[in-house]
Structure 1
Amino acid sequence: MGEAEGIRLTNLLLTCIFLPYIGSGSVLVHDNKWEPRPRPYKYWADLQKDPIFHPDNVRDVVVARHSIAFIPCKIIGLVDHSVTWIHKPSSTVLTVDDFVYTTDKRISSHINEERTEQVLMITDVNFEDQGEYTCQVSTQPAISLNFHLHVIIAVAVIKGKRERYLDSGEDIILQCTIPRLTYPPEYFLWYLGDSIYTYQDKENVEVITESKTKTSTLVIYNAQVSDSGNYTCTASNAFPSHVIVHVVPEEVPSAIHHEYSSGCACGSNSERLQNLLLIFAYAILST
């Protein structure tokens, strides 16, 4: 038997031995070398599993009227399946993946690069948009998850009393928040009277905005009588809230203005009127 016939016989024997592995697609022969068969798809392991919805999906979304609604649908093992958003009350197909079927230009759909989250976005939300929205995955049979959109009229809230009295030299601390919102506002603005409160050039003023907690805090250190006024907090997606702050000169007895800040009804009407006039007189003379 020649050398060539011996090589062919050896290859034949090896093929018979490893035939089961070749049939299963786990190995291949290349130049008489046995190598693992490469996966035809980088998500090969995920292709062997059915997609499921992530347990952390937030299914109740609360947004303010005229703001932007984001409804995220989180999916594990989506890979090459498509996702359809359906407006359940009308059974209207809104989007399939990133393709928009509805003629409503306010609606769009976005998927992240890892294909783990499909987000339905609705701009300029109104009360007619609230209701159920279905996230449907193209498995056989299809799987779906319902989300509920709540549209509210959001109102900013400044914590504490609506009218406050402080001694000259104390700090004014006003904290504004917007409860019940799923997503923070795009911006907060503070007003003093009818004008936007400009604080960039003031060393004793600080504004702290925290997006996660949807709060904005205005701090005026060592406040003076000139810092008295009507302070308003407003946000991009909420109605404003206001408080009246009185900074009282040191010369005014503390008992006078604390009487009003505590809501005490002590003394006669004429005494309370005299005390109030005294406060205003000091305020006018010190400006």
Structure 2
Amino acid sequence: MGLYVIHTLTHKTSPYSFVLHQVSWFRRRDWHILTTGTFAYTNDQRFSVLHPDGSLDWTLQIKYITRRDNGTYECQLSTGTGVLSHFVNLHVAVPRASILVRGDYHVQAGSTITLVCVVEQSPEPPQYIFWYHNDKMINYDTERGGVKVTMTTGHPAGDTRSQLTISNAQQEDTGNYTCSASNTRPASTSVFVTYGDSLPAIQRRDETSSSTTHSSSSSLSVISPVLSHSLLIPFLLLSYLLSFHNNLYLIHSHMFLSHHRTHQTSPVTRRVR
């Protein structure tokens, strides 16, 4: 990621003190002694101390810094009366690159392709930002012509921006575009150059799929009551058939009882006569 130095300054306890101060650097995360005096006490060769002869400066230097180096570092000064400490909180910012495009980039043939790459969270501007079309770097493409790259810094958000402009877009300009900065991972997007009515057709297709989704949800809301009615009809028919069967049973029972009564009363009438 780069080089980082943590600086501290020691002072003599008094103008008449000639006591040799012993300065050590600790990493608080694991209480690891990094340096004591001018000697390093770690196998990680990225750590070293800078102390010019006769100077009161003791600077901890970390090379190729990474996010893992986040944390608190302690400088301890051993004196004849005790230990003095100074703490430094180190926050490693990891830059991030992105292209200001939502989804794929569609453009009509003959138009201008404009892509903007933004590098954020970078303590200092990247040394370079290269643009690639597929696998070819195009920052200095003189063969194609009409390619322009501009890089700007000092934006209010503290970011760095690189704008790629390609005039008179042609079918050959379709493909993957990547911006690659010196201190970030690359960011990519896809560009499609279309002719004639192809672009409106793509938009209409997107609108059609959106309206189809809406129609499907509406159809579901209409079908639901139809299904409920279709289930209700057999139930009503079954109820009607059961009612009809019961009525037939009642009629049959009534006729049977009437006939039975007639058969029983007839002999009694003959006896009276």
The normalised TM-score by structure 2 is: 0.53
Partner of 1:205: 147
CA 1:244 to 1:134, structure 2 compared with 1: closer, same or farther past 3 Å? same
- Letter of the structure 1 residue corresponding to residue 197 of structure 2: V
Aligned residues of 1:161 and 1:243 also touching (Cα < 8 A): no
Q: Distance in 1 between matches of 2:10 and 2:63?
A: 23
Pairing partner for 1:256 from 186, 190, 201: 201
Find out whether 1:142 has 2:84 as its counterpart.
yes
CA RMSD of aligned residues (A): 4.1
Deviation at 1:231, TM superposition (A): 0.6
Structure 2: 5+ residue stretches without partners: 13-20, 213-273
Aligned residues of 2:107 and 2:199 also touching (Cα < 8 A): no
Find out whether 1:169 has 2:110 as its counterpart.
yes
Q: Map Cα deviations across residues 187-223 of structure 1 (whole Å, 9 max, x no partner).
A: 4332212333353425522223346624332222333
SS at match of 1:239: coil
Pairing partner for 1:106 from 46, 49, 53: 46
SS at match of 2:207: coil
- Structure showing the higher helix proportion among its residues: 2
Partner of 1:159: 100
Structure 1: 5+ residue stretches without partners: 1-66, 270-287
When Rg is computed on C-alpha atoms for both structures, the one with the higher figure is 2
Find out whether 1:238 has 2:172 as its counterpart.
no
Find out whether 1:70 has 2:10 as its counterpart.
no
Partner of 2:25: 85
CA 1:146 to 1:124, structure 2 compared with 1: closer, same or farther past 3 Å? closer
The normalised TM-score by structure 1 is: 0.51
Deviation at 1:135, TM superposition (A): 4.6
Q: Map Cα deviations across residues 18-68 of structure 1 (whole Å, 9 max, x no partner).
A: xxxxxxxxxxxxxxxxxxxxxxxxxxxxxxxxxxxxxxxxxxxxxxxxx23
Partner of 2:172: 226
Aligned residues of 2:23 and 2:58 also touching (Cα < 8 A): no
Aligned residues of 1:132 and 1:147 also touching (Cα < 8 A): yes
Q: Percent identity?
A: 27
Pairing partner for 1:247 from 182, 189, 193: 193
CA 1:98 to 1:182, structure 2 compared with 1: closer, same or farther past 3 Å? farther
